[in-house]
Structure 1
Amino acid sequence: MPRVAVLRHRLGVGSEPFVLEQARRFGRWEPVLVARDALPAGLELPAASLVESAGRRAAAAHTAGVGSRPLAALLRELRVDAVLAHFGVEGACALPATRRAGLPLATVFHGFDATCSPAALLRARKPSWATYVRRSRRLAREGELFLPVSEHLRTRLLERGLPAARTRTHHLGIDLGKLPADPPAAQPRTVVHVARLVEKKGTAHLLRALALLPADVRLVCVGDGPLRRPLGELARHLGVAGRTTFTGAVGNDEALRLVAAAGVLCLPSTTAANGDQEGLGQVLLEAGALGRPVVATRHGGIPSAVVDGRTGTLVPEADPAALATALARYLDDPALAARTGGAAREHVRARFDAARQTALLEDLLDGLIGGSR
């Protein structure tokens, strides 16, 4: 059985359950998780850490793009046949090590890594992002496979010069087995918003939409982030703080329970000032799998996840009035919400089952080693 190194600098990030979910779904390939940072507890899969195997200096050199030997040695020690890097940053940082180890590299692009401008990435002053900018042309030339999670991201990557023949849209899907076996009854006058509280997620526009809806409509914001305090202040200014709950960061199981308990999910994503856009919006798939209608924006890769008018409603970016109108349709018409949620469930199960999508990924990985085995 061939082995694939699933590479993410920091594993176990709460907002990224898809990395581990995908790894657990491999069947014909054996996954081994590879992190730059220390490993979190409870990974349930074979895993290795660069900082733990080679030390902090080696990890820092890897991030800065000036040292590839330690990672190459770790990949050889793990006896992997290919490397699957999550995010363009990881792909760029790992590229020299994969060349040194003689391994093919597949890179998954999730959003900012395909939409933020090089100048914006450099302004963030993150060493790994600077390495990504500096090495992006080499990655485009030498990387064996590029896997944007939506057609929108593929278009953006092609505009940046990635080769069309090696750039394939690949939806990660969701693990249908993780859904609550006995979900709570939906509260039809509750809107749930699951997102990291950053500009791209459009939470401020949702709060303004809430102010336009009747006083019995409640909003549950699931997640945390740098905008938590200003968003709380905005809720107070708008007079909706009393019917808005900020849960803070929660585990994926609890997030799913909160989605199942709501009448509708809203993800009003917008293009951030630095160009960051939504790759797909995994929570839209989770809501659909739970039979919940969604209201989202016509933005980034979201149209790949939501069929407007059938599995949910898409509205323009940064338009609170349009958001409020779309939300009110589902909140005021439980029968419509049920029909739309049912269509969303069928859509997700047919097109975004993680088991099926990971089997397709294994086929792509087979192609990378077919000539060498």
Structure 2
Amino acid sequence: MPRVAVLRHQLGVASEPFVLEQARRFTRYEPVLVGRDPLPADADPGLPVVTLAQRWGATAAAGYAAGALSWPLTRVLREVRADVVLAHFGVEGAHALPSAQRAGVPLATVFHGFDATCTRAALLRARRASWVTYVRRMPRLARHGDLFLPVSGHLRERLLARGFPADRTVVHHLGLDLGKVPAAAPAGDGRTVVHVARLVEKKGTEHLLRAVALLAARGSDVRLVCVGDGPLRGALERLAGELGIAGRVVFTGALANPDVLAHVAAASVLCLPSVTARSGDQEGLGQVLLEAGALGRPVVATAHGGIPSAVVDGVTGLLVPEADPAALAGALARLLDDPALARRTGEAARAHVLRSFDVARQTGRLEDLLDGVLAARGAGGGQR
């Protein structure tokens, strides 16, 4: 059985359950998780794990992060006898490229959002060593990487505009572990909207707060639960107070995925009003949209980034323009005030997720793509 090294620099991130969910669903490949940083103390991925920091020490891991050292990952790939590398995020792909080439194994890279949409200038301004390396190596990655897997058609278009080859750039939805989602969620609270996101500019939380204020001014008893944390939390809490809706809004902070799902199930509508950040950062797909759909919850979101790949407007949810609180308020009111419409939309959302986003089926398709990469190498494709 061929072995796939699943690379994510920070393994076990609470907001990224999809990395482990996919890895656990390989059936024709044996997965080994490879990280740069140590695992969180409470992480239990249930798969073999090797991290550069624990294997070679913090100095070697830092040198790898800065793009100065490739040997730490090269040696790990050889030690685990990897046949192919699957890197999650373009940053990881760019860092892995020299190591994969030296180890003689092909490299597939999954692009999730910012890594295909943030401007080079914004990545450099962040002054993160790994992002600087990504910018520097991006052209080389585009030339020599074996397979590029954007999670939506929108991200594919952005990659092609940056010079990635069309014949090696294939849309691939990661999917959702439907086993973790109740088969039939209980009826949600008819006046509660849930928003699940890192509290950063891209997620558009400010516009949602303004939409809730508009609904409150019209006499609606709408309530909002914001699940997640981030650098804008303090400013958003202050904005809720300034808008006079602090008593209607709960900020839970970051939660484990089962608790996130519980909040989604308890609400009647999920809202993800993502916008294009000043850095150019855009939504890749919005995994929480799939979770809401699997729970039979309709969504209100923006026609932004890869969101239309997950939400069928007017069927599984309602899409509105970016940064438009009035349009958000109108779409939320439609679903909150019409339980029958919300129920029909939620049922359609669940059917859509079951049909198109099951992680077992999607991972099988991924294995087919990796088979093609290995076959190309075996047929004399060699290193690019």
1:267 is aligned to 272
2:304 is aligned to 299
1:69 is matched with which residue: 53, 66, 71?
71
What amino acid sits opposite 1:42 in the alignment? D
2:48 is aligned to 46
Kept in 2, the 8 Å contact 1:82–1:104? The answer is yes
- Percent of matched pairs sharing the same residue: 73
CA shift, 1:117, in A, is 0.7
Alignment of 1:341 with 2:346, yes or no, is: yes
> Within 5 A, what are the aligned runs for 1:228-307?
228-307=233-312
2:382 is aligned to none
Distance 1:372 1:282 in 2: 32
1:138-175 CA distance string (max 9 Å, x none): 00010000000000000000000000000000001110
Distance 2:321 2:184 in 1: 35
> Within 5 A, what are the aligned runs for 1:167-186?
167-180=169-182, 183-186=185-188
- Give the match's secondary structure for 1:165: helix
1:268-326 CA distance string (max 9 Å, x none): 00000100000000001110111010000010000000000000000000000000000
1:56 is aligned to 58
Distance 2:246 2:100 in 1: 51
1:94 is aligned to 96
2:150 is matched with which residue: 144, 148, 151?
148
Kept in 1, the 8 Å contact 2:185–2:296? The answer is no
Distance 2:258 2:39 in 1: 21
2:214 is aligned to 212
1:4 is aligned to 4
- Give the match's secondary structure for 1:192: strand
Distance 1:66 1:35 in 2: 17
What amino acid sits opposite 1:4 in the alignment? V
1:221 is matched with which residue: 217, 226, 242?
226
Alignment of 1:197 with 2:192, yes or no, is: no
CA shift, 1:248, in A, is 0.4
Distance 2:209 2:182 in 1: 28
1:368 is aligned to 373
Distance 2:171 2:19 in 1: 17
- Give the match's secondary structure for 2:46: coil
Kept in 1, the 8 Å contact 2:187–2:268? The answer is no
Alignment of 1:108 with 2:86, yes or no, is: no
Kept in 2, the 8 Å contact 1:62–1:94? The answer is no
Kept in 2, the 8 Å contact 1:174–1:352? The answer is yes
1:17 is aligned to 17
CA shift, 1:52, in A, is 0.7
Kept in 2, the 8 Å contact 1:211–1:239? The answer is yes
Kept in 2, the 8 Å contact 1:180–1:257? The answer is no
Distance 2:254 2:296 in 1: 23
1:325 is aligned to 330
Distance 2:376 2:182 in 1: 43
Distance 1:278 1:94 in 2: 24
What amino acid sits opposite 2:38 in the alignment? A
TM-score, scaled to structure 2:
0.96
Kept in 2, the 8 Å contact 1:180–1:256? The answer is no
Structure 1: stretches of 5+ with no match in the other structure: none
Kept in 1, the 8 Å contact 2:111–2:148? The answer is yes
Distance 1:297 1:45 in 2: 36
CA shift, 1:39, in A, is 2.0
1:166 is aligned to 168
Kept in 2, the 8 Å contact 1:297–1:315? The answer is yes
1:110-153 CA distance string (max 9 Å, x none): 00000011111000000000000000010001000000000000
TM-score, scaled to structure 1:
0.99
Distance 1:152 1:257 in 2: 30
1:225-248 CA distance string (max 9 Å, x none): 000000000000001100100000
- Give the match's secondary structure for 2:193: strand
Aligned length: 373
51-60 or 236-245, which deviates more: 51-60
- Give the match's secondary structure for 2:268: strand
What amino acid sits opposite 2:261 in the alignment? L
1:350 is matched with which residue: 351, 355, 369?
355
Q: Once superposed, which parts of structure 1, at least 4 consecutive aligned residues long, lie more than 2 Å away?
A: 180-185
Distance 2:214 2:356 in 1: 35
- Give the match's secondary structure for 1:212: helix
Distance 1:371 1:340 in 2: 44
CA shift, 1:371, in A, is 4.4
Distance 1:237 1:130 in 2: 38
